[in-house]
């Protein structure tokens, strides 16, 4: 056992996995920019208070999953458990309300939750995050959902399953909560311990309880969609109409309530197989009250976060191929001190000409150097020895064909550039 190990729930992303990461980030970036989203980067840590308020006391994230610490100046800070609170903070702090509205932002980065790790869940994970701030049009909800959809589709996901619900707004949510509580009052002794607690702290969460005994109760529970105010009902109906218009199928999920406090109206998740017991690769929704809650001007917002580790896990499950990362296709072998000097000059000239090249280190036999060239997977091995130097040439070996040709040193860079 090595003396030092990764902290629990963290991972090393090895070179052989990097092609997935490059590809996914590139696709996400491309699609976001196509839709007019601009990149923003916010700090990895923020004031603890921001998340406590923004995400909400009483949520699991705030109650037991935050990586919090006190810095040397006595400030209470927390590694971000999600992006939205920080992005909204940046919107307010940088006075982005004076910009052309809405402001459409995307970002990537590590995110932290102190959870017990399992398949598809890590303490440090990576999110792709998208937000539209300053727009209440259901078309904004649609845009955000389309981006998620198109990203997964372009990454090779099949049978996309969108789960959709509305959680109402401060106008209608309390009324529904009252109805729900009343309904549950009649089943007090049939539900699980956790749900009894949930009824007090965050009543909507009883709806996604997984305990067996609670299932029949949930099945008979009133639907929030039947209790939305006119505004929320219209918003939801319009969003559905738009989704239908664009042929994006979704499932109305009355039990989808999401774990964070700030959601209003639209909530959605994207489910996928292959990520262990978790099902969501993406979760998001509308949060019209969040900016105000954080001390900013009233600003409607909608967005989502998507976990890249889970995306990549699904891609591997589906055997999605990703393009390989570029690497040199030339290897410079040399025999003798004079040849090594020439190799040094050449490797530099090649790279200046934008031709990737490996240099053989040390002083070794040709056999040894060619073996390395083979293992590095290059197309051409350039051999510089006494004979070549005397003739002012290099021997270029095509490693695939096994054929060699003599090329004048003066032309070598050009010769290789034309072929790689």
Partner RNA sequence: GUGGGUGUGGCCUAAUGGUUAAGGCACCUGGUUGUGGCCCAGGAGAUUGUGGGUUCGAAUCCCAUCACUCACCCCA
Interacting residues with RNA (CB under 7 A): 1, 5-9, 59-61, 82, 113, 115-123, 125, 127, 194, 198, 205, 208-211, 258-260, 269, 276-283, 305-307, 309-310, 335, 364-368, 370-375, 383, 385-388, 395, 397, 399-400, 402, 404
Question: Closest by alpha carbon to 91, among 58, 122, 157, 135?
Answer: 135
199: which 2 tokens? 């009824």
Q: Which is nearer to RNA, 245 or 401 (CB)?
A: 401
Helix ranges (H only) for 225-319 are 230-245, 290-293, 308-317
Which residue number, 72 or 116, has a Cβ lying nearer to RNA? 116
- Residue by residue, DSSP assigns 145-184 as HHHHHHHHHHTT--S-EEEEEE---TTTHHHHHHHHHHHH
Shortest Cβ distance from residue 397 to RNA (Å)?
5
Q: Which is nearer to RNA, 1 or 219 (CB)?
A: 1
The H-or-E segment that residue 201 falls in is: helix 193-201
Q: Are 107 and 42 in contact (CB under 8 A)?
A: yes
CB of 307 to RNA, least distance (A): 3
* CA terminus-to-terminus distance, the chain: 43
Find the shortest distance in angstroms from Cβ 270 to RNA. 7
Rounded Cα distance between 47 and 45, Å, is: 7
- Judged by beta carbon, residue 72 or residue 367, the one nearer RNA is 367
Q: Do 127 and 85 meet the contact criterion of CB atoms below 8 Å apart?
A: no
Helix H or strand E encompassing 49: helix 48-55
Token pair in block for residue 35: 């839709």
Cis amide bond preceding 102, omega within 30:
yes
The torsion region of residue 377 among left (phi > 0), alpha (psi -120 to 50) and beta comes to: left
Nearer to RNA, 89 or 205 (CB): 205
Task: Provide Rg for the chain, Cα atoms.
Answer: 29
- Nearest CB to RNA, comparing residues 137 and 372: 372
Q: Closest distance between RNA and the C-beta of residue 265, in Å?
A: 16
CB of 309 to RNA, least distance (A): 6
The distance of closest approach from Cβ of residue 101 to RNA in the complex, given in angstroms and rounded to an integer, is 25
Q: Which is nearer to RNA, 139 or 211 (CB)?
A: 211
Min separation Cβ 59 and RNA, Å: 7
Closer Cβ to RNA, 205 or 265, answer by number: 205
CA separation (Å) from 399 to 344, 354, 392, 406? 21, 21, 22, 14
Q: How far is the CB of 223 from RNA (least distance, A)?
A: 18
């Amino acid at each position: 056992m090595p003396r030092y190990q990764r902290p629990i729930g963290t991972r090393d992303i090895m070179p052989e996995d990097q092609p997935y990461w490059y590809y996914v980030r590139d696709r996400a970036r491309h699609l976001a920019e196509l839709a007019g989203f601009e990149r923003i980067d916010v700090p990895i840590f923020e004031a603890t208070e921001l998340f406590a308020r923004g995400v909400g006391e009483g949520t699991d994230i705030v109650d037991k999953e935050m990586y919090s610490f006190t810095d040397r100046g006595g400030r209470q800070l927390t590694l971000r458990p999600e992006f939205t609170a920080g992005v909204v903070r940046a919107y307010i702090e940088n006075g982005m309300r004076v910009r052309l509205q809405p402001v459409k932002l995307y970002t990537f980065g590590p995110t932290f939750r102190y959870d017990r790790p399992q398949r598809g869940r890590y303490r440090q994970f990576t999110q792709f995050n998208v937000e539209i701030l300053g727009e209440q049009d259901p078309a904004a909800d649609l845009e955000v959902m389309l981006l998620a959809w198109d990203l997964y589709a372009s990454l090779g996901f099949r049978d996309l399953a969108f789960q959709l619900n509305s959680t109402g707004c401060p106008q209608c949510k309390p009324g529904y909560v009252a109805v729900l509580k009343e309904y549950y009052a009649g089943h007090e002794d049939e539900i699980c311990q956790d749900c009894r607690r949930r009824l007090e702290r965050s009543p909507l969460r009883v709806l996604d309880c997984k305990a067996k005994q609670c299932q029949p109760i949930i099945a008979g529970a009133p639907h929030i969609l039947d209790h939305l105010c006119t505004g929320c009902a219209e918003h939801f109906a319009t969003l559905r109409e738009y989704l239908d218009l664009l042929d994006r199928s979704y499932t109305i999920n009355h039990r989808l309530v999401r774990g964070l406090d700030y959601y209003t109206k639209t909530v959605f998740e994207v489910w996928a197989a292959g990520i262990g017991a978790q099902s969501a690769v993406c979760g998001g929704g509308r949060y019209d009250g969040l900016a105000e809650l954080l001390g900013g001007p009233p600003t409607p917002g909608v967005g989502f976060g998507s976990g890249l580790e889970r995306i990549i896990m699904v891609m591997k499950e589906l055997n999605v191929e990703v393009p390989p990362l570029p690497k040199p296709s030339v290897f410079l072998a040399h025999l003798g001190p004079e040849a090594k000097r020439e190799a040094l000059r050449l490797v530099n000239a090649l790279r200046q000409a934008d031709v990737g090249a490996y240099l053989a280190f040390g002083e070794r036999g040709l056999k040894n150097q060619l073996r390395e060239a083979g293992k590095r997977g290059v197309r051409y091995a350039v051999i510089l020895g006494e004979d070549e130097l005397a003739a002012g040439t290099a021997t270029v070996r095509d490693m695939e064909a096994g054929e060699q040709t003599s090329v004048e040193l003066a032309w070598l860079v050009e010769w290789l550039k034309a072929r790689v």
